[in-house]
Structure 1
Amino acid sequence: MQLKCVAIDDEPLALELMKNYISKFPSLNLMQTFEDAIAGAEYLRNNVIDLLFIDINMPDITGIDLVRALDKKPMVIFTTAYKNFAFEGFELEAIDYLLKPIDVARFGKAIEKAADYHRYKNATNGDGEGESLYVYSEYKMVKINHKDIEYIESMEDYIKIHLQFDKTILTLMPLKRVLEKLPEGRFQRIHRSYIVPVNKIISIQNRKVKLPAIELPVSDSYADFVRNWMK
């Protein structure tokens, strides 16, 4: 499997370095490079690619605005010389951000993420199967193994995913949407604020679900699940 990719950067030296790095990875097929962001945007509107490397700060249009304007968005890896990333990039679900000067080892990790996510999308078709969940947290894509999830908690517009060993991941997503990403039957919503992995339920008593690390309430709306589980 090769990922068809395009690189856009108004700095010739940065673009040359990107071409050099891409050439080191057989999984990447570089289709075009552009110093002119407008020309790059026109190419992207007329061609289907898998992965876009794009600088955030360019004179004609920012990388973020260019990606936002695309009708069909490829996977995106932003490159930037600044440590403070724009929040708007979070909306665009970027695979990763690479801070200039880019190290080849760090570049390789970003490529692994892109290849992994590409396989995930093509294997699941968005139906929630597979063994991993992908969410966007702290301006990057994060892979979470289903088996590591202890429970998921709604916090208004955000959700907090509680993992093994007291780790948590916060992401901007409604609880309903994350449930759609999870395999049906293996995770269950028990309350307006909670989703639990069914195989980690120890017991259900007095409208409370006991998990290895916590007890959570079951609301009236999900009482049918309790009855079915106890059969």
Structure 2
Amino acid sequence: MDNLRCVAIDDDPLALALTKSYIEAIENLTLIQAFEDAIAAVEYLSRNTVDLLFLDVDMPEVSGIDLYHSLAVKPMVIFTTAHKGFAFEGFELNAIDYLLKPIDLPRFKKAVQKAIDFQRYKNQKDTDTPNEHLFVYSEYKLIKVEVKEIVYLESMEDYVKIHLNNGKMILTLATLKKVIDKLPADKFRRIHRSYVVAIKEVQSVANRKAQLSNGVLLPISDSYASFVEEWKNT
């Protein structure tokens, strides 16, 4: 994979200098431009293509949130802020991550790795190689989900709950179909308008219900009754 072309935007010269030094210390990143002036950054981004923004939220001329909303073409973005209690609720932003200042290098590298993984994932979607993970947005940041850890998906109106084999759950704003389309078709089956199961996690089927490895019982609707015979032959 080619290096990610980066732009850093922060009105604080010291914070910007730190971000620049971190970018330059990471092999997979190339710093293209850095701006203290948000307006100049917007003009530059309107004429140039970049892969990743490091964008401060708290700028006087225009907030990082508004700046990002204004972009016609939105690259991946990692937001930074000095305010621990900053409320991202209400902003429908597909951010890779949010970093709280002062940012240390290990935390910075962790956020960058998410961006690298997501870029590889997007590139991989154009090949026939099956994905071992998928990416979803949850709590306004990007989450990497290992496909092998998914037990089942549950539709909750405009959201999908992704239930994992460690007992954890990830809630993402998406349709069930949108999430299914990201998963390997030979490993998952829809058994109900509200449920998709990982075939390997189904332990038994009786009375139109599937019992999963975590003990959960899910209904199998008439529309997906063919799953029972299919499961028997796996």
Q: TM-score, normalised by structure 2?
A: 0.91
Q: What code does the residue aligned with 2:193 have?
A: R
For 1:71, the equivalent position in structure 2 comes to: 72
Q: 1:127 to 1:134 in 2, by over 3 A?
A: farther
- 1:64-213, aligned counterparts within 5 Å? 64-83=65-84, 84-89=86-91, 91-125=92-126, 129-213=130-214
Runs (5+) with no aligned partner, structure 1: none
Distance 2:128 2:70 in 1: 27
* Residues matched between the structures, number: 230
1:229 is displaced (CA, Å) by 3.7
Cα RMSD (Å): 1.9
Q: Give 3-state SS (helix, strand or coil) of 1:204's partner.
A: strand
Is the CA contact 1:128–1:182 (under 8 Å) kept in the aligned structure 2? no
Distance (whole Å) between structure 1 residues aligned to residue 90 and residue 60 of structure 2: 18
More helix by percentage: 1
For the 8 Å contact 1:127–1:183, the answer to whether it is kept is no
Equivalent residues of 1:9, 1:58 under 8 A apart: yes
TM, length-normalised to structure 1: 0.92
- The alpha carbon displacement at 1:128 in A equals 9.5
Residue 27 of structure 1 corresponds to 28
Q: Which moved more, 1:200-209 or 1:27-36?
A: 200-209
Partner amino acid, structure 2, of 1:226 = V
Q: Cα distance, 1:85 vs. partner?
A: 3.3
Q: Which residue of 2 aligns with 1:58?
A: 59
- Identity percentage over the alignment? 57
**Is the 1:128–1:181 Cα contact (8 Å) retained in structure 2?**
no
